[in-house]
Amino acid sequence: MPRHKAQWNDEPTNYQQRGKLPRDSGSPAPLAGSLNITSATADPALLELPWHIALEDWPAENLAALPRGISRHIVRFALLGEGVIAVKETGEHVARHEYHMLRKLRRLDVPCVEPVAVITGRRDLQGNELDPVLVTRHLKYSLPYRALFSQRLRRATLTRLIDAQALLLVRLHLAGFYWGDVSLSNTLFRRDAAAFAAYLVDAETGELYPELSGGQREYDLEIARVNIAGELMDLMEAGLIEESVDPVATSELIMDAYRGLWAEITRKDTIDLSERWRVEERIRRLNELGFDVEEISLKTTSDGGRFSIQPKVVDAGHHTRRLLRLTGLDVEEGQARRLLNDLDAHRAKKFPDTDEEISAAHWVTHVFVKITQAIPRELQGKLEPAQLVYEVLEHRWQISESIGSNVPLTQAVESYVQDVLVHRRDEAAIMLNPPIEVLRSLEQGAMYRDDAG
């Protein structure tokens, strides 16, 4: 058996270690030559994988049965301990660049996959060189966009997918990251109640700057528009989206969504000193979009009668985080905003002098749970609980307004079930863990090595 030497480069401490895998954790795979592993944490389990075999020929026992997206490189999902990693063969410079970009983005709290290691020095048993690999950790409960189309998706669902992509692009640009290859293919999506959360999965063309120019942002947008249009055309040809969807017009939605978000987040307002209340109004508007404001920059004008306001926006998920902290409910941002409004009204009416954590617990039991348990069993699968409660609260407000008096919750639930829910069609389920036969059917016709890139 050829002798194997492994060299670890641990970036935070810059030390190197040579040696074999400890005997009590299994024998290392037979490797020729010397591996160089760059990783923030030296995981000996990496040495158990067959690095002496070209990635496209890896044996099934090392692979995880997960859906693969379209890539210009060979990519495989592999088992590593109790988790799953994604392994991508690429050039050494590209692998190291992407590894460092992902580490920087993680430190900036930008949604992206976690880099694990760069492995170079691979050779097969005949001594032939093999391509270096980038190893990232698989994002649990996520799928590439093609796997989301396990059945035809409606136009509204597709629009939410693009909205999630636009929000991700705004967050990247706020952090100073120029992507250079924006597409659905380079993004992973997770269901977030009725919407999606988008995560960057491919950063090999990206660069970080202190601040992006308008030209850089617009170029990223144009790349997104062209790439998404092409991807939607492929989906339409495969019969995976409604025939009424216009791929080009739909792809342009990302431009409108992005520009609307960017303008609201970065706009500088000039306000009269007598209208200082507008500062709070601006913060509330940003919160409604789901962003927290870390600090406000105020500058008075030369005449002293007006001042400009420039908020520093730091993160999305303002309402989601507050609701999660108070109730443990992890829901979509729009749902969280409506539920929090009801929670605050509940506290003001019943517990005005009580800590909000106590009143929140009471609201969960006597509003949220009460609504979900009142739904007949045969109708409970039509909507997810958070969306169901949201719609009941909206229905209650509408009928209360129409009759000019407050409607009891029990009566509102009965009215909603009889007048609304029974007529709703079941939501199209998007499978985050589909059966293997579905995964295979999704991958038919989509070669994982895409030379067109």
Can you point out the beta strands (E) in 156-272? Answer: 177-178, 187-192, 195-200, 207-208, 269-272
Report the residue count for the chain: 453
Share of the chain above pLDDT 70, in %: 73
Burial class of residue 161 (count of CB atoms within 10 Å of its CB; 0-12, 13-18, 19+): buried
Is it true that 5-138 and 143-265 share their CATH fold? no
Whole-prediction pTM:
0.64
Task: Provide Rg for the chain, Cα atoms.
Answer: 26
Confidence band, pLDDT 50/70/90 cuts, at residue 90: very high
Higher-scoring residue by pLDDT: 70, 202: 202
Separation of alpha carbons 339 and 364, rounded Å: 10
Closest alpha carbon to 340 in 290, 305, 268, 282: 290
Residue-wise pLDDT for 369-378, tens only, equals 999 999 998 8
Contact (Cβ atoms closer than 8 angstroms) between residue 174 and residue 212: no
Closest alpha carbon to 86 in 161, 6, 140: 140
- Residue 261: φ, ψ to 5°: -65, -45
Fold of 143-265: Transferase(Phosphotransferase); domain 1 (1.10.510)
Domain ranges of the chain: 5-138, 143-265, 267-316, 327-423
Order of strands across the sheet that contains 187-192: 143-144, 187-192, 195-200
Give the residue carrying structure tokens 């209360």: 400
Please check the confidence at residue 289 and state whether its pLDDT lies above 60: yes
Taking all residues of the chain, what is their mean pLDDT, rounded to a whole number?
Answer: 78
Contact (Cβ atoms closer than 8 angstroms) between residue 172 and residue 179: yes
How much is the pLDDT for 442? 40
In this structure, the strands spanning 5-10 and 34-39 are parallel
Can you point out the beta strands (E) in 250-353? Answer: 269-272, 291-300, 306-316
Residue-wise pLDDT for 311-347, tens only, equals 666 556 667 778 888 898 887 777 887 898 888 888 8
Please check the confidence at residue 430 and state whether its pLDDT lies above 50: no
Q: 88-120 burial, b if ≥16 CB within 10 A, otherwise e?
A: bbbebebbbbbbbbbbbbeeeebbbbebbbbbb
Higher-scoring residue by pLDDT: 94, 303: 94
Q: How many CA atoms lie within 13 A of 259 on its CB side?
A: 10
Answer yes or no: CATH 3.40.50 is held by domain 5-138. Answer: no
